[in-house]
């Protein structure tokens, strides 16, 4: 029970402070894992992959996955409800004075600071994931992983296909070259 309450509270905070959608919850999920020991960076990377390649909003998908990993099916539901509670309450309040909010100069100024911060937060969390994805067990940089990373990045950047396609390709590469061993 306490575990479920703790899950709800951690995801409530994530929902309250993760601004911008998409991967904005990633730095918070990393922090939760590091603080509680519920999961590590490897599982975090799996969450991103599953979240991007299944239907529905990424933030919600990652919350369900995290909650499930931590406390089973009920955990998945509790974490997801925790994530959406603050959004729900905030939007119900803002809906009453929609226009005033959008055109408020202070709100716009706050966002001048938030946008670059969100970029940096996601990048910092990405660097943590890179540490486990690009380095081998002995701590050395894996040459094969770096080459695959560079090729995948170039393809993603130029081709702009849906992420699922690249995730499937990379899974095949992983199996063919036995990257997990």
Partner 1 sequence: MRDKLKELWELFFAFAKIGLFTFGGGYAMLPMIQREVVENHGWATDDEILDYYAIGQCTPGVIAVNTATFVGNSRAGAAGGIAATLGVIFPSVVIITIIASFLRTFAGLPVVRNAFAGIRICVCALILNAVIKLMKKGVKGALGITVFAAVLAVMVVFDPSPIFAVVGAALCGLLWPRRQKEGGEGK
Among 5, 36, 40, 88, binds partner 1 (CB under 8 A): 88
Among 40, 101, 143, 161, binds partner 1 (CB under 8 A): 101
Residues 6+ positions from 132 with CB-CB distance below 8 Å: 40, 41, 42, 45
Q: How far is CA 5 from CA 1, 10, 39, in A?
A: 6, 9, 17
Annotate each residue in 110-149 with x if it binds partner 1 (CB under 8 A) or - if it does not, as one string: xxxxxxxxxxxxxxxxxx-xx-xxx----------x--xx
Instruction: Write down the least CB distance from residue 94 to partner 1, Å.
Output: 7
| 166, HSE (Cβ side, Cα atoms, 13 Å) | 19
Our finding on whether 7 is near partner 1 (CB under 8 A) is no
Task: Give the H/E segment covering residue 77.
Answer: helix 58-94
Annotate each residue in 44-83 with x if it binds partner 1 (CB under 8 A) or - if it does not, as one string: -xx-xxxxxxxxxxxxxx--xx--xx---x--xx--x--x
* Residue placing its CB nearer to partner 1 in the complex, 2 or 56: 56
Among 9, 36, 40, 90, binds partner 1 (CB under 8 A): 90
Structure tokens at 43: 């599982």
Residues 6+ positions from 134 with CB-CB distance below 8 Å: 141, 142, 145, 146, 149
Instruction: Write down the least CB distance from residue 93 to partner 1, Å.
Output: 10
Instruction: Write down the least CB distance from residue 166 to partner 1, Å.
Output: 5
């Amino acid at each position: 029970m306490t575990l479920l309450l703790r899950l709800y509270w951690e995801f409530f905070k994530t929902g309250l402070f993760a601004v911008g959608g998409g991967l904005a919850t990633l730095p918070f999920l990393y922090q939760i894992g590091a603080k509680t020991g519920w999961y590590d960076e490897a599982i975090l990377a799996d969450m991103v992959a599953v979240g991007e390649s299944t239907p529905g909003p990424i933030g919600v998908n990652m919350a369900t996955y995290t909650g499930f990993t931590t406390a089973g099916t009920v955990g998945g539901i509790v974490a997801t409800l925790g994530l959406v509670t603050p959004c729900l309450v905030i939007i119900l309040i803002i809906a009453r004075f929609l226009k005033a909010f959008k055109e408020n100069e202070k709100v716009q100024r706050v966002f001048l600071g938030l946008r670059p911060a969100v970029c940096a937060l996601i990048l910092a969390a990405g660097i943590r994931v890179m540490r486990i994805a690009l380095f081998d067990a002995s701590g050395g940089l894996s040459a094969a992983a770096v080459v695959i990373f560079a090729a995948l990045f170039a393809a993603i950047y130029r081709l702009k296909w849906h992420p699922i396609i690249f995730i499937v390709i990379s899974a095949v590469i992983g199996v063919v070259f036995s990257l997990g061993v």
